[in-house]
Amino acid sequence: MTKLAKITAVCIALMPAVAVAQDTTTDGTTEVIIPTDDELEMFRVAITDVGCTIADEETALTVETATAYDEATLDAIVQQLRVYNEIVDASEEGGITLVTGDCAV
């Protein structure tokens, strides 16, 4: 993944939540992505494994590699977990923190 793509993924994760993520397909139509329970759980495990916070490119790449999800799926997962109030902003400088499960404060 390129440096720009990693930075973009982290920035997307910081955007305010919307109900679902959307991705434009190659034919120009819009696909709505709704993450499955298994996808949500795999992401929870991956972010827990890096210390509950994604605040830099290295941890973002580690989570991306662990899940093997594309950018649109990761965006949908982060947005859904924001709706569930399981993710909060890590700091004013950026990043996200999981606040449930083993990461509960």
The counts of H helices and E strands in the chain are: 4, 5
* Residue 24: strand, helix, or coil: strand
> What's the DSSP call for residue 56?
S
Alpha-carbon distance 99 to 102, whole Å? 8
Residue 104 predicted with pLDDT over 90 = yes
Q: How far is CA 2 from CA 5, 7, 8, 70, in A?
A: 5, 9, 10, 13
pLDDT in tens, 12-60: 554 444 444 555 556 676 778 899 999 999 999 999 999 999 999 999 9
